[in-house]
Amino acid sequence: MLNYDLSDEQNMLRQTVRDFAEKEIKPVRLELDRKEEFSYDLTKKMAALGFFGVTCPQEYGGQGLDYLSYILVVEELARVDGCQAATVAAENSLGIGPLANFGSEAQKQKYLPPLCQEGKLWGFGLTEPGAGSDASNSKTNAVIKDGQWVINGSKIFITNAANDLTAGCTVQAITGDLGNGKKEISCIIVEQGTKGFTSKAMKNKMTWRSSNTAELYYDDVTVPEENLLGNRGEGFKQMMKTLDSGRLAIAAMGLGGAQGAYEEALAYAKERQAFGKSVSSFQVNAFKLADCAVEIEAARNLLYKACWLKDQGRPFGKEAAMAKLYTSEVFHRVANHAVQLHGGYGLMEEYPVAKFYRDQKLLEIGEGTSEIQRLVIARHIGC
C-alpha cells in the first residue's frame, strides 16, 4: 500500500530544522558567504541539535534514525543555505558513514562519539589532484614498515577536513599491486595532528564559500597497522558504497536548494510590479513558476522513493544516482529561472537567488559529476 505521509517524528524533525535554519542561518548566510567564513558557531549548534550522526546507532552517540529523516535534515538546511547543509551532509555521509559501516568495534567506540556529539568533523579522503571521476586511479600510497602504515600522497576538495573541529580523515591509498594490472586499494584512518599530515583550507571558491574545503598532504605519515578500516584491499568498494548513500544527501541538497530558490522567486514575482500588475500574473512568468513547482515535486518523489528503498534494505544505487542527477539539474533550472525573474536584482549578491545560482553548480560536480551519475545509471540498466 502506498503512503506518502511522513511520520509525526519526521514532521517534527523537519519543523525543528526549518525553525533553526530560518532563525539562526538565514540572518547570517549571505555575510558568511561574502567573507568566505566557516561558522564554528552554527556548526556547534547543529551538532548540539543532533544533526551529526543522524542515522548512526545511539550506542555510538548518534540518533539512530532512518535515512529519510537524515535526508529531511539536509533538505531543510539546503532550503536556506547549501553551505551549512554541506557541513552536515559531508559529516554524516562521508565522515561518520565509512567509520560506522566498516570500522571495527574499537574504532567505532573511539571515533564516533566525538563526531556525533561534540561537533568534531571527519574528512573523506578520496579525490586527488589527478584522480576525480577516475577515483581508482589514485596515487596516494601506503606501505607497512615495522608494523605501521607509512602514507605518502595528497588529496583535494575534501569537505570539513581543515578547520579547528577536524579530528581526522579516512584516506584511500594504494597498498599493493594485485599483479593483474589492478592495484590493491585500502582505506586508512589518519588522525589530525599526526606527524607529516598537513591540511590547507581552499579559498576563492565560486560556490559553497562558507563550507570548509581542504587540500591534504601526507608526507611519510605513520599510523598504527590497526588504523586500517575494514579489510585490506576493500578500500575502493568501501568508498563506492559510501558514495551510493552520500548521493542521496547531495540529492537532498539539490531538492532543498531548488525549493529555497523557488520560494524566493515566487515571493518576489508576486510583490514586484511591472506594467501596472505583479509580474507573477504574466503568463510567461507564471508558467516558469509552474514548471519549477512540477519539477520540485517530481524530484522530491524520486529522492524519497530512493530513501525508502534504502530504509527497506533494498538495492538503491541506481535510484540514488537518478535522484542525485535529477535534483541537481532541477536546481540548475530553478535557480536560473529565479535569477531571471528577479531581473537585474538577481545579479546582486544581496539577493539570495544569486547565492543559490552559484551554490547550485557544485551539485552537478561534487560526489560524482552528472556524467558519472549517467554512467552509473547506464551500467545499472545494462548498457
DSSP conformation class of 311: H
String marking each residue 129-168 x if it binds ligand CAA according to CB under 6 A: ----x-xx--------------------xxx---------
Q: Reduced to 3 states, what is the DSSP secondary structure of residue 207?
A: coil
Distance of alpha carbon 67 from alpha carbon 248, whole angstroms:
9
What phi and psi values does residue 202 have, to the nearest 5 degrees? -90, 135
Say whether residue 367 binds ligand CAA (CB under 6 A).
yes
Q: How far is the CB of 268 from ligand CAA (least distance, A)?
A: 31
For residue 75, give the nearest of 322, 250, 261 by alpha carbon.
Answer: 250
Site pattern 311..350 for ligand CAA (x: CB under 6 A):
------x---------------------------------
Q: Which stretch in 54-62, 114-122, 141-149, 372-380 sits in contact with ligand CAA by CB under 6 A?
A: 372-380
Please state the closest distance from residue 362 (CB atom) to ligand CAA, in A. Answer: 9
Query: Which three three-digit cell numbers place residue 122?
Result: 571527519
Per CB under 6 A, 75 contacts ligand CAA: no
The residue type at 361: K
Amino acid at 4: Y
Under the binding rule (CB under 6 A), the answer on residue 241 touching ligand CAA is yes
* Site membership for ligand CAA, residue 366 (CB under 6 A): yes
Measured over the CA atoms of residue 33, residue 39, residue 45 and residue 47, the dihedral's sign is positive
Binding ligand CAA by CB under 6 A: which of 94, 167, 171, 341? 94
Shortest separation between residue 190's beta carbon and ligand CAA, angstroms: 15
* Helix%, strand%, coil% for the chain, nearest 5: 55, 20, 25
Q: What is the DSSP letter of 304?
A: H
Residue 280 near residue 286 (C-beta atoms within 8 A): yes
Q: Is 367 a catalytic residue?
A: yes
In this chain, which of 153, 235, 257, 368 binds ligand CAA, going by CB under 6 A?
A: 368
Phi-psi region of 222 (alpha: psi -120 to 50; beta: other; left: phi over 0): beta
In this structure, how many other beta carbons lie within 10 angstroms of the beta carbon of residue 107? 18
Q: Is 293 in the site for ligand CAA (CB under 6 A)?
A: no
Q: How far is the CB of 315 from ligand CAA (least distance, A)?
A: 10
Give me the active site residues, please. Answer: 367
Residues interacting with ligand CAA, by CB under 6 A?
Answer: 90, 94, 124, 126-127, 133, 135-136, 157-159, 236-237, 240-241, 243-244, 317, 366-368, 372, 375-376
